[in-house]
Amino acid sequence: MKANEKLNMLEKRIAQLELENKNLHETVAYLTKKLYGKSSESSKTLGIEGQLSLFDEAEVTADPKVVEPALKVIEKVIVKKYKGQRKDKLDKLPHHKVVFKLSDEDLNCPECSAELKPVGEEFVRSEVEYIPAQLKVIDIYKEVYECRKCKQAGRPLMAKAPTTKPVIWHSYASASSVAHIMYQKYVNAMPLYRQETDFKNLGLPLKRQTMSNWIIQASKEWLFPITELLHKKMLEEKYLHADETTIEVMNEEGRKNTADSYMWVYGTYKDSKMPIRIFEYKPTRNGDHPKEFLKGFNGYLITDAYQGYEKVENITRCYCFAHLRRYFVDALPTDTKKPESTLPSQGIEYCNKLFKIEEQIENLSAKEKQNQRQELSKPILDAFWSWVNENKDNCLPKSKLAKAFTYALNQKEGFMTFLSDGNIAISNNLAENSIRPFTVGRRNWLFSGSPQGAAASAAVYSIVETAKANGLNPYEYLRYIFKYLPGVCFEEEPEYLEDFLPWNPEVQAFCKKAEE
């Protein structure tokens, strides 16, 4: 081998090692930022605010002849203190009046010793008193009757008063106790072992295994039928959101306890007349799961770019700009003042401009949104794609920035879909916000004890998050279901379940969440 050829090989090898070294440094910085950095992705938090003035002219170059149309700006409401605010907060709570009186020995005038007479009361202050929870046992009896005349005639006749049906047969569980356990676990993220301690302090040695059985049994009997009906209603919609996250489930047949299973969440769009959120536990992330769940749905599906959703038939995919923005955020170096931060910062700013427009047109009709997007968002997107094509080769291969450019280009069609319909959300935040309470709870109890427990958890989360989406108090909605559904013959008359859906007027009246 000639000396020049050997030298060229060594130079190529050095360049390759330098490239690998840069990528490794970037990976270490990225992981360090994930572990110890701030989770917020705002420009101010990221340290890039004020660095993008040169970038502001990018969308102008897309079509300099276009005059920017007027926007119907929705002003953000800043809540300020006002006179009587405290009274308004306390008026909805029950009030108990306490009047302090002078003792008998103090009822004499200090000047002339004559008896003092009351002339009125002076308000001093209001205090909010906390009343600790308490348990009581309801002993249920039914009165028994007999016909004395028939008895005398030798034809004894007995009659018994009807009673309500229990939420769980052969158990001392009540609608309120089961609803409370579910509320604490799935809304307040309190694991059962801590609830066990709370019940013990209240005087009841209630084991976590018993509570777990109650959750599984009550979900199977009363929540599964409602979630199945909600599922059917959801498939009638035209716009849906979907997302998924990991969960560890113990005792899955043929799988290790450390293997990742998945909780899938599906939701109707923001302005739907039937706000629905459905969780579904599945052992894998296979695209066959959303394909099966969404069978019969024809419309727009808003998701991230996970390829598993490609298996879903008869849908138009719409991609999430929050995920795209996150790719550019991940490409930012630790020191945002370095030249390497310029391109990621510009990508973030493009996304920010789109989100800013969405904030301004949020309260417009779907048709008005579509028109505003065509006039305002489309020029920004045209400039963005031009910018991506110009700069995609100006970064290290396999770097975070290269991955951001590739992600954007590979999903270009799906990123443009929201321009065609004002009902299509620009992000998948609706599904992510629905799944967030699950991820918070997951940190507290780490895993589900069995596939049956995971399925029950999915049902409870579905009811709880759907209740929130409909402005209901989740505890009251669960209690309503467990109190009244056991007495309904919905197996023979399925239409009776309609009365238990969260938008039913009676449910709304019974379970409405207190105004904030």
Give the DSSP letter string of 262-278. EEEEEEE-TT-SS--EE
> For residue 508, which of 462, 482, 469 has the smallest C-alpha distance?
469
* Measured CA angle at 170 (ends 165, 172), to 5 deg: 80
Q: What is the pLDDT along the chain (516 residues), one digit of tens a residue?
A: 567 777 777 766 776 666 666 666 656 666 666 666 665 555 455 554 544 433 343 333 444 444 444 444 444 445 567 777 777 888 888 999 999 998 988 888 888 888 888 899 999 988 889 888 899 999 999 999 999 989 888 999 999 999 999 999 999 999 999 999 999 999 999 999 999 999 999 999 999 999 999 999 999 999 999 999 999 999 999 999 999 998 888 777 778 777 888 999 999 999 999 999 999 999 999 999 999 999 999 999 999 999 999 999 999 999 999 999 999 998 888 666 766 678 889 999 999 999 999 999 999 999 999 999 999 999 999 999 999 999 988 887 878 899 999 999 999 999 999 999 999 999 999 988 888 877 776 656 545 678 888 899 999 999 999 999 999 999 999 999 999 999 999 999 999 999 999 999 999 999 987 655
Amino acid at 183: Y
**How many beta carbons lie within 10 A of that of residue 306, not counting itself?**
14
Distance CA 473, CA 511 (A): 6
Q: Note the pLDDT of residue 497.
A: 96
Tokens of 500: 């238990």
Distance CA 342, CA 157 (A): 90
DSSP conformation letters of 220-287: IIIIHHHHHHHHHHHHT-SEEEEEEEEEEETT-TTS-TTSEEEEEEEEE-TT-SS--EEEEEESS--T
Q: Note the pLDDT of residue 91.
A: 86
Report the predicted TM-score, pTM, of the whole model to 2 decimal places: 0.81
Q: Which pairing describes strands 260-268 and 239-249: parallel, antiparallel, or unpaired?
A: antiparallel
* Helical pair 474-484 and 451-469, crossing angle rounded to 10 deg: 110
Distance CA 340, CA 217 (A): 56
Q: Which residues pair with 299 in a beta bridge?
A: 315
Q: Are 170 and 221 in contact (CB under 8 A)?
A: no
Q: Note the pLDDT of residue 384.
A: 96
Q: Are 477 and 174 in contact (CB under 8 A)?
A: no
Helix or strand run (H / E) with residue 342: helix 342-360
Among the residues of 171-223, which ranges form H helices?
A: 175-186, 192-201, 208-218
Q: Note the pLDDT of residue 256.
A: 79
Helix or strand run (H / E) with residue 317: strand 315-319
Q: Are 437 and 465 in contact (CB under 8 A)?
A: yes
Separation in Å, CA 76 to CA 83, 360, 515? 22, 9, 20
Q: Note the pLDDT of residue 456.
A: 93
Separation in Å, CA 157 to CA 141, 162, 182? 20, 16, 44
Q: Can you say whether the dihedral through the CA atoms of 446, 450, 455, 456 is positive or negative?
A: negative
Q: Which pairing describes strands 315-319 and 299-303: parallel, antiparallel, or unpaired?
A: parallel
Q: Note the pLDDT of residue 364.
A: 94
Residues 6+ apart with CB under 8 A from 51: 336, 341, 345
Distance CA 30, CA 42 (A): 17
Helix or strand run (H / E) with residue 158: strand 158-160
